[in-house]
Amino acid sequence: MKQGSVLICRLKTHRPFPWAYAFLIVILLLIFSYSLFGEKILYNDGAGWDGEFYRNVAKNFSFDFLNKGYDNFRIQRIFPFFILNIVYSIFSIAKTNATLMAGMLILNSINLIVQIIFFFKLAKLLHWEKKITVLLFACFFFNFYTLKSCGYEPFQTDAFAISLSLISYYYLLAEKILHSYIAAVFAFFTWPLVTIVAIFLILFRKPFPRTTPDNKFPFHILIPIAYLIGLGLISLALILRKSTLTISTLIARDSSFPYLVMTAGATALFMFILLKAIVKKKYPYYKNFFSFSYAKHFLLLLLPFIITKIALSFMTNGEFYYSSTIFSIQILIRPLKYPLIFLVNHITYWGIPFVLLLRYFPSCTEAIIKKSPGHSIILFLFLFFALDSESRHIATFIPLLLVPLADVLSSKRITQRNLWILVILQLSLSHFFYPINEQGTAAAFNAMQLDTFPAQRYFMNFGPWLNHKAYLFWGTISIFSFIMLSFLIKNEKNFPLNDIQSNRKP
């Protein structure tokens, strides 16, 4: 009798997989398969630009790593390509461009399955409603990168960095810190920013008490001023060094001084408005970060990475490819190309998650800040990287945005009809249906005529290479998306955010 009762209880508590989830997964797999196994970029035999290097890692890793080595920057971005090389060597598979492409397509397919599994594990852990799960599934998977770019350039670390970020974050929220840390270790060979984010979240994971003193530091004023001063110092350094480089050449656009002042001012003003919204939500006082952290574990967490870094230093060849300093300077300069180009590109590349984030920014930042000091630090790190109009560079933060968006959307009223309109809008913004390899595209790539329309079919989502016509077009689409989303999602005054968050703890 007791066993029967247990069985009945299990049957009652069993929740069948909703048809909506199955429908979304089928749509995702169909479009992803069409993209992944369909047309490829007509450059370097399908490898693309950066992909050429990583294909060579998959082809020659066993020899190059021990004999020639790699540069210091890209040696930290060779997963999973060296794994592919080892597997092919073990099973004596020929490492041709065709076989390596097939191997990467398989790895990307497996990687997508892993993302789907951990997405639903996260939804179950945080008890998301069905409508929230459906909308966030569309946000996370139905974007340009997953449905289009991933298939065009499979020899990239982006997709695997997103997975490791999602896995590490899931285990952090599930309070399985060791598992979260292990995922961060793998990320050190894939996309080091994922590792940095994970360490901050692990170290500063203890939530603030409600009695924590408020922050009085006026960063909403000082940070925009520091941004403008930084731009001035970069310009002055270029002049004093008599460099052939100028701000105009760095942004790939002929620009007058008044135009650069205007774009810099627009960015600074936008930063002020956003940061002012954070101040209103009482960002924690900086001393509290050390009071509520696991600082004693800092060296213990860093030790494996320090050892790895030292070991890798013996495998580098001393060649220069890129540096974090140049990348940081690049982030500061890229917003000067067009006014608020980073917003346009993020919406074009990732879709409505950034429309949601912009529309409900005060509530989203409140949801982030209240989770832990680590989340508060990552918020500012994300805002810095979000200035970069090459939108794929913020892939690390995409899984982390799901949780605050879920908290905020839970307090909004979304009808069934409007929910599916939003899903369709997200699918449309991914422009998975828009072919890139049209006549003249390959010739434009080979001639490096990246500003012409054939090449813009590929570069339409990369701010640094966007031409002004594409910018105006996608800017209009972004404004339309913002207006449409505001119309489809209604505020629900009866459900305060604090109550929603407290009810969604695992």
Taking only the tens place, the pLDDT of each residue in 141-151 is: 999 999 988 88
| pLDDT confidence bin for 11, thresholds 50/70/90 | very low
The residue whose two tokens read 């060779």 is 78
Distance CA(59)–CA(230), nearest Å, equals 42
Q: At what angle do helices 341-350 and 468-488 cross, to 10 degrees?
A: 70
Helix (H) or strand (E) holding 25: helix 19-36
| pLDDT confidence bin for 475, thresholds 50/70/90 | very high
At residue 499, the pLDDT reads: 44
Say which range, 69-73, 406-410, 435-439, 491-495, has the weakest mean pLDDT.
Answer: 491-495
At residue 16, the pLDDT reads: 58
At residue 15, the pLDDT reads: 56
At residue 458, the pLDDT reads: 76
| pLDDT confidence bin for 69, thresholds 50/70/90 | confident
Average pLDDT over the chain, rounded to an integer = 84
Residue 501 in this model has a pLDDT that exceeds 60 = no
**Better-scored residue on pLDDT, 481 or 463:** 481
Q: What is the DSSP string of 240-288?
A: HTT-S--HHHHTTS---HHHHHHHHHHHHHHHHHHHHHHHHT-PBPTTH
Say which range, 205-214, 258-267, 374-383, has the weakest mean pLDDT.
Answer: 205-214
**Better-scored residue on pLDDT, 346 or 189:** 346
Residue 39 in this model has a pLDDT that exceeds 90 = no
Mean pLDDT of the region 56-67: 86
Q: Name the residue among 472, 275, 232, 457 with its Cα closest to residue 362.
A: 275
| Lookup: tokens for 251 | 């942004």
Do the beta carbons of residue 191 and residue 184 sit within 8 Å? no
Q: Where are the domains of the chain?
A: 15-215+282-503
Q: Name the residue among 33, 15, 191 with its Cα closest to residue 105.
A: 33
| Lookup: tokens for 376 | 């508060």
